[in-house]
Chains A and B, each alone.
Chain A
Amino acid sequence: MLKITDQEFKQLTAYIKQNFGIHLQAEKKTMLTGRLQSLLLSKNFTRFSEYIDYLLNDKSGEARMELVEKITTNHTFFMREADHFFFFRDHVLPELVQNNQEQDLRIWCAACSTGEEAYTLAMIIADYFGADKGRWDTRILATDISQQVLETARKGIYSLERIAPLPAAWRNKYFHKLDGENAVLSSSIKNEVIFRKFNLMEPVFPFRRKFQVIFCRNVMIYFDWETKTELVNKFYEHLEEGGYLFVGHSESLNREKTKFEYIRPAVYRKSNA
């Protein structure tokens, strides 16, 4: 197994932080070397410094994407931190619908991983509108930096074990059994989510209009304080007045420094001017 020197680790983690915002501390050394082991072997590198040179000279972006796939943790599951979905269903969505002249919902899952969160929101919205959706455009934007998870997400195929936490009504209504172990989402839900690759470290967010709701949960736990603050400020800029930001339950904002108004744990709001 290839070992990493302290210097190499620092160089590599600095690179990772610079490009993806992920903050790897010393205790993550074993994890990092473990995850990159096979990659280095497959590329016949004998030292991490060679791999770092390879990364720094990467012109196509391919090396970077390989690294992303290796170092991102894409742990998620249906109904993760379910309180948020209930709050969205019972308070946020009715409010959005009521105050919306254009019949356009703009909701962003800023780190969608394998799509569970975005699809859950899509199902909540589908339930809310029922047959009366009319001209409403309720498509959700779901982004992640990892191509792999996006591909999984687009397929909309989940093991029966994974969809078990969902209400039986949803499983019956929005999923079709594929085989003994897997089910696939109906296209009516799949079409409601626009999956795109997006790096939250982009210096400029390219979106045309401001969002009404942003979900960015359990991503910023991998970021350091500064990166997190910067990102939260960008979210603030890209939210409409009165828009909501949902973060993970372990990602609370510093209430004295943020411009967001605290609504309840891990739910914040951009105040009306």
Chain B
Amino acid sequence: MRITTKFVVGFLVMALLTCLLGYLGIVNVQQMMAADVSAAEALAEQLILVTKIAMAAAVLIAIILGTVMAGTIHKPIKQMMEAAEKISRGIIDVQLPTEAKGEVGQLAVSFAQVAANMRELADAAAKIARGDLAVSISAKSADDVLGGSLQELLQVLKRLMSELKQLYEQHAEGEIDALIADEQFNGAYREVAGGINDGYRLYVSTLRKILAVLTGYAEGNFSVSLERLPGKLAQANEGVELLRQNLQNVIDETVTIAGLTAAGALGVRGDADELYGDFKRIITGINETLDAITDPINEAAQVLSAIAEGDLQVSMTGEYQGDHAIIKKALNQALANFNELLANILEAAQQVAAGSKQISDSSMALSQGAAEQASSIEQLTASLEEISGQTKHNAENADKVNKLAVDAKGHAQQGTEEMQEMLAAMAEINRSSQNISKIIKVIDEIAFQTNILALNAAIEAARAGQHGKGFAVVAEEVRNLAARAANAAKETTELINGSIEKVNDGAYIANQTAAALQKIVADIDKMADLVQQIAAASTEQAAGISQINTGIAQVSRVVQGNSATSQESAAASEELASQAEMLKQQVAGFKLKTKAAGQDTAAGEELGPQLEQILAELPEQEPAAEEQAEQEQAYLEAAAAAEPKILLSDLEFGKY
């Protein structure tokens, strides 16, 4: 194998190593793009290690070449031959006979010089092969093709290195479209540069594809997918797919949580088990955020539930920050306000209940009093109504009496006049009686004569014997009649005498009666006056009573109105009391924090000073007189005991 070939091989190896290095670099750059800085450092170290290994390999090759070249000279020629043979085999580290002179020596010297030159070049080549491009190679002559070529190689390598470095720097700066200007290289170098460029293009296009997919993901479009990359690049497929899945999972989970949370299911948490790394952190972060939000909401909900059930003794106690602290403070403040408000309402309701109860009681008492007043007045009205009727009746009667008195007076006067006439008539009777007396004397004498005649007739009849019997009977009858006539005359005389006496008495009485009648007339005059006065007074009374009635009726209306009003007021205050009681009960349904419990009875007794005064001024009911009641009870029992059962009611009530 020729040395040049070995060099070329060495350089090619180096070039390949460089390409490998470049490839590794690109891979590492890509990884660095995906990974963080620390990983990049690790990769850089890895890169250096790889480079060292490549260099060591180059050195190893150079040593092998030198040893081979030196070992060929055996005893100058042999040594040289060996050296030459070695050299021909590419071994430049040859031992040349130093002691040899002459041509051999010269040859040896030349050879040695050649060897030295070759060694120099080999060293340079070895250095180049090891990657040390800091060597300087000078052409020994214009025809020194090897040196010139080596020099040219070095320059090409340096340019290549410089291009690569620039390429790297441009790519490191993100100029991913940068490529090696491969037209300045020839042949294989152009190919190398082109290959590098192709490699870069390939990776850049792959990167672009990945970037396009990532941009799609970044824009929220998960429908894009990375075309299947060959070989190990398929890792990128896996990575991108994993990324997509993770992002999709995170997004799905987040959307689910957000949806449920928006729907009010505050207890829902994201499932972070299937996620890794920071994706897991996103979900756990959301969960923690939800916890932070829902804890105060949950507590507020509990507190509000308690409030809804009437328990105002609760409050929010958790430690919260920011807006949650504001919610907590506001809720607690609202609770405090409610507590105070309801306590005040309770107190007021208790006062109103107590007050209205008292007003109700008082109105009731007032109503009772008014009713009693009204009932007394009602009785009074009824009695007065009757008295009024009676008084009218009295006046009418007095009028009648007056008329009667006038009549009586007339009659009495008439009586007096008639009495005079009667006296005259009686005197006439007296005179007539005396005349009758005389007539009776005549009748008496006639009777006497008749008696004698009858006696004579009886004697004559006796003489006539049998024929005079009838005549004797007649005579006897006549004699009887005479006797009776005499008797009658005698009685009549007595009567007439009595009559005359009586007429005299009568005249006396009649005179007295006339006098009495005169007095009666005078009295009736007086009486008529008095009765007239009574009639007038009764009429006046009737008018007066009528006025009293009107007045009493007015009073009655007022009192009845009072009675009705106080009943209504009692009803209203009763209603008020019951409403207040209801309010009290409703408020009592709340459990309050403040002083409420003890107030229930205490507040009821305490009324405002004005109310107390009003109530104090209300009239009190008088107690009934007991001793009187007892006695009445005794009489009642007596009346009940004596009472025989007599029905004062009908027994039949029609359809009832």
Binding site for B on A (CB under 8 A): 10-11, 13-15, 17-20, 31, 56, 58-61, 64-65, 68, 73, 75, 104, 106, 108, 137, 139, 141, 143, 145, 194, 196-199, 202, 206-209, 218, 220-222, 248-252, 254-256, 262, 264-266
Report the Cα distance A209→B654, complex, angstroms: 12
User: Which of chain A's residues has its CB closest to B631's CB?
Assistant: A10
Report the Cα distance A104→B654, complex, angstroms: 13
Contact across chains for B564 and A222 when beta carbons are under 8 A apart: no
Report the Cα distance A106→B647, complex, angstroms: 24
The SS class assigned to the B binding surface is: helix
A75-B385, A196-B653, A255-B574 given; A266·B631 CB < 8 A:
no
A14-B638, A56-B642, A61-B647 given; A250·B375 CB < 8 A:
yes
Report the Cα distance A194→B653, complex, angstroms: 8
Contact of B564 among A10, A14, A265 (CB under 8 A): A265
A59-B646, A251-B375 given; A194·B559 CB < 8 A:
no
Report the Cα distance A248→B377, complex, angstroms: 12
Contact across chains for B651 and A206 when beta carbons are under 8 A apart: yes
Report the Cα distance A33→B642, complex, angstroms: 22
Contact across chains for A252 and B567 when beta carbons are under 8 A apart: yes
Contact across chains for A202 and B649 when beta carbons are under 8 A apart: yes
Report the Cα distance A216→B638, complex, angstroms: 29
Contact across chains for B563 and A249 when beta carbons are under 8 A apart: yes
- Least Cβ distance of A221 to chain B in Å? 4
Given A56-B643, A141-B653, 15 more contacts at CB 8 Å? Answer: A13-B635, A19-B639, A56-B642, A59-B644, A75-B382, A75-B386, A108-B656, A141-B654, A202-B648, A202-B649, A250-B375, A250-B559, A252-B371, A254-B368, A262-B571
Contact across chains for A206 and B367 when beta carbons are under 8 A apart: no
Contact across chains for A10 and B632 when beta carbons are under 8 A apart: yes
- Least Cβ distance of B650 to chain A in Å? 4
Instruction: Say yes or no for B381: interface residue by CB 8 A criterion.
Output: yes
Binding site for A on B (CB under 8 A): 364, 367-368, 371, 373-379, 381-383, 385-386, 556, 559-560, 563-564, 567-568, 570-571, 574, 631-632, 635-636, 638-640, 642-644, 646-656
Contact across chains for A64 and B648 when beta carbons are under 8 A apart: yes
Q: List 15 A-B contacts (CB under 8 A).
A: A11-B639, A13-B632, A56-B643, A68-B648, A75-B381, A141-B653, A141-B656, A209-B656, A250-B373, A250-B377, A251-B371, A251-B375, A262-B571, A264-B568, A265-B568
User: Which of chain A's residues has its CB closest to B651's CB?
Assistant: A206
Report the Cα distance A31→B373, complex, angstroms: 19
A194-B656, A250-B563 given; A11·B635 CB < 8 A:
yes
A73-B379, A145-B648 given; A262·B656 CB < 8 A:
no
Contact across chains for B636 and A250 when beta carbons are under 8 A apart: no
Contact across chains for A194 and B632 when beta carbons are under 8 A apart: no
Contact of B648 among A15, A65, A137 (CB under 8 A): A65
Contact across chains for B643 and A19 when beta carbons are under 8 A apart: yes
Contact across chains for B378 and A218 when beta carbons are under 8 A apart: yes
Report the Cα distance A221→B376, complex, angstroms: 7
User: Which of chain A's residues has its CB closest to B368's CB?
Assistant: A254
Report the Cα distance A202→B650, complex, angstroms: 11
